[in-house]
Amino acid sequence: MTPTDAKRPLQLNDNGQLRHFLSLDGLPRALLTEILDTADSFLEVGARAVKKVPLLRGKTVCNVFFENSTRTRTTFELAAKRLSADVITLNVSTSSTSKGETLTDTLRNLEAMAADMFVVRHADSGAAHFIAEHVCPEVAVINGGDGRHAHPTQGMLDMLTIRRHKGDFEKLSVAIVGDILHSRVARSNMLALKTLGCPDIRVIGPKTLLPVGLKQYGVSVHNDMDEGLRGVDVVIMLRLQRERMQGGLLPSESEFYRLYGLTTQRMTLTKPDAIVMHPGPINRGVEIESAVADGPHSVILNQVTYGIAIRMAVLSMAMSGQTAQRQLEQEYAAEEQN
């Protein structure tokens, strides 16, 4: 589990603009900030009576989900439609690959549909990189989550949530809690927080759910929940991923909740204005108490709203010759003139 910038050229074009969006590894702070700024602009679109802009009119976005995810799939669909793109969603997990078709065969068939962009979610780490390396040059690839490796749009929507609620990253203490070992969200968040200048990133969990090499991400590691939470500004809870575990990692869910569940009592250890986040789906009574998930510190539903804006930003930037932010400003100026 070692950060690397080896794949950075694959994600950027010759001008340093987004070509694919596969991982946050090696992406510069300026680009992450541009994604956040562009998403801020798109939040205004979501508040309109007509929630559409014509930035991707005439383009086709193909959501290719080899692994199920209602929340991610739905927000990518909404994001593409709000950009005026045509959208095709394929649940490949129940079709071609289950009949023996290889990933390369599936890719060639998708290219024959003349899509301009693939949003790919896959259970195997590196699948999105593989597709980006083999896809035809005019197609952009967005990683919607691959195995334990990366979930870059989730990482960026979490960053947008933090920035809108807490401001400057350089003054924050952030705790990421739970099943770090199996979490692609945790990896993306650690990379993003470090790149954006967060000085205090804490990872909290039992030793059996913490991978080796964590300190290379610039984080401090805590096995004691109370110690790790003390004085933090942001708490990011993670889902306990039982489906990825192979026996013996945990004695029981109730024991995990006793030691690492985020309760009302434990929230008293954080700063009074701390926020609570969760990528979903929430396991109430396993990683978080309902009173916390639904309470005043929670911004979990805000994350969903911000997720649409982030995905609009990434889709438009990856398919655009100029920055999406500039295009959006031009569109607003044209509307005012009319």
What pLDDT, on the 0 to 100 scale, is given for residue 146?
93
pLDDT digits (tens, 9 = 90+) for 148-180: 899 999 999 999 999 999 999 999 999 999 999
281 known member of a binding site: yes
Alpha helices, DSSP H only, in the chain? 8-11, 29-46, 70-82, 103-111, 127-134, 152-166, 184-195, 225-229, 253-260, 264-267, 290-293, 300-318, 324-337
User: What 8-state DSSP symbol labels residue 172?
Assistant: -
Is pLDDT larger for residue 102 or for residue 179? 179
Name the residue among 318, 307, 320, 333 with its Cα closest to residue 142. Answer: 318
73 known member of a binding site: no
99 known member of a binding site: yes
Cα–Cα distances in Å, from 234 out to 175, 177, 178? Answer: 6, 11, 14
Same fold, 8-148+304-337 and 152-300: yes
Please state, rounded to an integer, the average pLDDT across all residues of the chain: 88
How many CA atoms lie within 13 Å of 56's alpha carbon, on the beta-carbon side?
30
Poorest-pLDDT segment among 40-44, 283-287, 310-314, 327-331: 327-331
Can you tell me the distance from the alpha carbon of 277 to that of 293, in angstroms, rounded to the nearest whole number?
8
CATH architecture of 8-148+304-337: 3-Layer(aba) Sandwich (3.40)
| 90 pLDDT tier (thresholds 50, 70, 90) | confident
280 known member of a binding site: yes
72 known member of a binding site: yes
**One-letter amino acid for residue 152 of the chain:** P
272 known member of a binding site: no
CATH architecture of 152-300: 3-Layer(aba) Sandwich (3.40)
151 known member of a binding site: yes
Q: In the chain, where are the structural domains located? A: 8-148+304-337, 152-300
Residue 338 has pLDDT above 60, yes or no: no
pLDDT digits (tens, 9 = 90+) for 230-276: 999 999 999 987 654 455 466 688 899 999 999 999 999 999 999 99
Q: How far apart are the first and last CA of the chain?
A: 53
